[in-house]
Amino acid sequence: MKTIYAVRHAKSSWADSSLSDEKRPLNERGKRSAPLMAEMMILKETRPDVLITSTAKRARSTARRFRDAYGLDKDLVFRDGRLYLATPEEILSVLRELPEDYQTVAFFGHNPGITDFANLFAEDYIENVPTCGIVKLVSTAEHWYDLNTLNTRRTAFYYPRQFGY
C-alpha cells in the first residue's frame, strides 16, 4: 500500500512585484500556517518517508517547514521542476518514478494542479485546495509505477481554516 500527501504551498507574498512567480516567498501567514499544518499532520497522520517539492521558492519553503516539524534529514527532501505548475498527469509521472523503498510520500506543489489531481481520486468534488491544504490519497498499488485512478482513493482533506489557522 502507498500513501500520498498532496500539499499545496502555504500562502505566498505578492509584496515585491519585480520577482518572478517562481521566486515569490511565503508571506507571514504562510510562515505561520505551514509549521502548524505540519504539526497537525504529526498528530493525525503517518510521517512521510520522503518529501518532494516544486522548485518554486514558496513550495520549497513550505516543504522545509514540514521537514523541520517531521525531523527529516535534508537528504530526504527532493526538488523536482516538473511539479512547478504541474498538471495531474505530470504529478502522476513524478510519483510513478519513486523508488520502491518509499511507502509514504508528501509532495508540495501548486494550484490548479493540486486540486485537479485530488479530484481524480474521489467522487466528491473539491472546488479548491486552499494554500497549505493537504489531500491524503491511499493506493493499493504494490509499485509506484502502477499508481492510477482505479487503485487509489482520496481518504482525507485538511486545510488551515479547519483548525483555526
Kindly list the averaged pLDDT for each block of 10 residues, start to end, along the chain of length 165: 98 93 96 96 95 98 97 97 98 98 98 98 96 98 98 97 90
Q: Looking up cell 505578492, which residue turns up?
A: 14
Written as nine digits, the cell of 41 is 499532520
Q: Looking at residue 103, what is its pLDDT?
A: 98
Contacts of residue 64, Cβ cutoff 8 Å, sequence gap at least 6: 77
Looking at the whole model, is its pTM more than 0.75? Answer: yes
Domain count, the chain: 1
Written as nine digits, the cell of 12 is 505566498
Q: Looking at residue 101, what is its pLDDT?
A: 94
CA distances from 140 to 13, 66, 112, 133, 147 (A): 38, 26, 26, 23, 8
Give the sign of the dihedral formed by CA 145, CA 151, CA 154, CA 156: negative
**Contact assessment for residue 69 and residue 42, using Cβ atoms and an 8 Å cutoff:** yes
- β-pairing, 2-8 vs 77-79, is unpaired
Backbone angles phi, psi at 43, to 5 degrees: -75, -35
Which residues on neighbouring strands pair with residue 125, listed in sequence order? none
Identify the CATH number of the domain in which residue 11 sits: 3.40.50.1240
Domain hosting 72: range is 2-163
What does R_g of the chain's alpha carbons equal in angstroms? 15
